[in-house]
Amino acid sequence: QAKLDVGVALLSTHRLIWRDGKNHDCCISMPLSQIIFFEEQAAGIGKSAKIVIHLHPAPVNKEPGPYQHSKYSFIKLSFKEHGQIEFFRRLTEEMTQKRWESTPASQPIPTGTGSQAGRIRAVGIVGIERKIEERRKETDKNISEAFEDLSKLMVKAKEMVELSRSIANKIKDKQGDITEDETIRFKSYLLSMGIANPVTRETHGSGTHYHLQLAKQLGTMLQAPLEERGGMMALTEVYCLVNRARGMELLSPEDLVNACKMFELLKLPLRLRVFDSGVMVVQLQSHSEEEMIASALDNVSDKGSLTAEEFALLGLSVLLSKERLLLAEKMGHLCRDDSVEGLRFYPNLF
C-alpha cells in the first residue's frame, strides 16, 4: 500500500497516470486494461470523496513501481479539491468504449528529465489565481454539458406533446367507446404532458400582439378547469396550472396578467376580476355573482357559522372562500365576528 499525496490524476485512452504535484519527475502509469471495475465513495466529515479501482492481478512482466508486490488488489484516488464527478464520468466512458483495444498506445508522457521547458510551478498569488481559473473552466464545462442534456430533454418533450395530441384526437373520435372515468384520467395525463404549441415571444413577437395570442390560448386551455372548479380560479392557481402545462416555456406573472386583461377585448368566455381586497381571479363570463352569494349564505345558514377555512372544505381554496364570504357580507347577507380565534361569519339577522 503506497500512499502518494498531492498529485494530479491524468486519464488517456490507454492509461491512468498519476504525477506528483511537487516533483514532476515522479510519474506512475497503469494500463486501463488492468481495471476490473471501479466505484465511488462519498465524502464524509473530514473525509474527501474517493474512487476505488479494483484491478486484475499484476502481470509477470509489469514495469517497476512503488512496490513490486502488494496484498491489495485495488487503488484509491482521493479528490481533496473536487473533480471526482467529472473524472468518474470520463473513466466510465473510456472503460465502456475500450479504445485501447482498437488503437495503438502513444509514446510515454514526458517525465520532465532533461529540458525543463514547460514546467510551471504555481506559487503565491499567481498559483491561487491559476487554481481559481481552472475551477471556473471546469464549472463552465459542467454547465455546458448540463444544457446539452436539457436540449435533448426538450426534444423528447416535443415528441411527448405530439403523442398527447394524438391521444386527444382519439378520445374525440371514440367518445362513445370510452367511459367518463377513463376520459377524465386521459385528460389529466394530457394536462401533465403540456400544451402542444405554447405561445412564446419567439413565435409571436412582443407587446400587444403577443398578449392577444396568449389570451386566445389561455381561453381554450382554462375553459375545462374553470368548469370543474365551479367557474372561478385564483390567478395564482391559474399561473401554476398554465406553467405546468407549458413545460419549459414558462410565463412571467406580468405576461399572464396582461393576457388575462385581453379576455374581454377578444370577447372570450373568460374574465379577469379584481376583488375589493385586491385578490385577482379568472372566472367564466357565465359565472353568476348572485349564485355565488346565495351559495355562501346557504352554507353559513346550514352550519350556523363558518370561517373561510371551514368553507374551503366544501371544495374551494381558502382564498376564494374568504372572498365569497366577504362579498356576501358586503351585500348585507352575512355579518362577522372578528376575534382572537379568527374571522367567523354568521347569517345577518338584523
Domain boundaries defined on the chain: 7-98, 141-201, 205-284, 288-349
- Please work out, in degrees rounded to the nearest 5, the angle formed at the alpha carbon of residue 69 by the alpha carbons of 63 and 73: 100
14-28, 56-70, 158-172: which range is least confident on average?
A: 158-172
Residue 310 has pLDDT above 80, yes or no: yes
Highest mean pLDDT among 172-186, 261-275, 276-290: 261-275
Instruction: Report, at the CATH architecture level, how domain 205-284 is classified.
Output: Orthogonal Bundle (1.10)
pLDDT per residue over 166-222, tens digit each?
A: 766 666 666 555 555 555 555 555 555 455 556 665 555 566 788 888 888 888 888
CATH topology of domain 288-349: Arc Repressor Mutant, subunit A (1.10.10)
Cell 509489469 sits at which residue?
62
Q: What is the CATH number of domain 7-98?
A: 2.30.29.30
Per-residue pLDDT, 117:
39
pLDDT band at 338 (very low <50, low <70, confident <90, very high): confident
Beta bridge partners of 44: 47
Answer yes or no: are the C-beta atoms of 232 and 322 closer than 8 Å: no
pTM across the whole model: 0.41
Counting Cα atoms < 13 Å in the Cβ hemisphere of 72 gives 10
37 beta partners: 54
* Per-residue pLDDT at 304 exceeds 80: yes
Q: Where do runs of H (alpha helix) occur along the chain?
A: 84-97, 124-173, 180-193, 201-204, 208-228, 235-246, 253-260, 289-303, 308-312, 318-330
Residue 139: the pLDDT is 75
Q: Do domains 205-284 and 288-349 have the same CATH topology?
A: yes
Nearest CA to 83 out of 49, 132, 52, 126 is that of 49
Q: Are 141 and 174 in contact (CB under 8 A)?
A: no
Of the candidates 256, 195, 22, 255, the one whose C-alpha atom is nearest the C-alpha of residue 122 is 22
Distance CA 125, CA 281 (A): 59
